[in-house]
Amino acid sequence: MNFNKICRDIKAVKIQGAENVAKAAIKAYSLKPTKASIKKLISLRPTEPALRNALKFVEKDMRNIPLTISHFETSKDIISSYGQKLIKNNNILYTHCHSSTVMEIFKEAKEKKKKFIVRNTETRPLFQGRITSKELSRLKIPNTHYIDSAMRQAIKKSDIVFLGADAITTEGKVINKIGSELACETAERFDVPVYICTNSWKFDPKTVFGFSEKIEERPEREVWKNSPKKTTIVNPAFEQIDPDLIDGIISELGILTPENFLTEVKKRYPWMLE
């Protein structure tokens, strides 16, 4: 596979998942190790901090390539091991959208012979929640699939909320799929703990998402094709979760509060801040 082919696949979302995108970008860079390649690869997924951090690490020294690949592969097992320990027999768990990291935790808990039920929401308008439900079905994990507007019902009698993350800012705010902060606010009302499940390389020192200015808007046609005139469709892709709503961030660094997570990731990976 050549550099241009990998770039096309990343751009066309044929390669999905933050870690898979990062590993593909590293492969592409190894084929064409130039500053122009770095710029090109970052432009394909400008909101992927794991990709940027991985490229930054290997740009410093090409010998870091195997270390980076190993980081992503070993972190997955460590995170799932930490996360599954929070799950008790007969728990009801809630998740929103689709997170491969959350799914690894559920898979690990299932392999530990734990019995639990997962509730999840459909995540309109692209229905990524269906991906979660299909994977749960393949794993033979009981699942109740809720419409988004029934999120409150799904959460209020759950035991834990597990969510993924697209990025974590320098303020400890978690960026994730729209609806995530609503899930956390609902969980707080009903005293349900919230855990963010993510690789620490999603720490984003530059916070290029631009959430302080404008949240990324998806096309109106995803929500309603041929909508009536004078009707404005609002279709935000992400939102910020206030760190005060988060009980812990589960990463390869451990289960930490947002504040302690930031302290640890900066200590462990000072090159991210350069």
Amino acid identity for residue 159 in this structure: D
- Active-site residue among 97, 184, 204, 247? 97
**Is there a contact between 83 and 48 (Cβ–Cβ < 8 Å)?**
no
Sheet holding 194-197, edge to edge: 143-146, 116-121, 91-96, 160-163, 194-197, 248-251, 254-256
Tell me whether residue 166 is one of the annotated catalytic residues. yes
Task: Collapse the DSSP code of 226 into the 3-class scheme (helix H, G, I; strand E, B; otherwise coil) and give the result.
Answer: coil
d(CA 72, CA 163): 19
- Cβ atoms within 10 Å, residue 47: 17
Tell me whether residue 97 is one of the annotated catalytic residues. yes
Cα–Cα nearest to 55, from 10, 23, 16, 7: 23
- Active-site residue among 166, 184, 204, 247? 166
d(CA 23, CA 12): 16
Strand 174-177 with 238-241, pairing: antiparallel
- Which residues belong to the active site? 97, 166
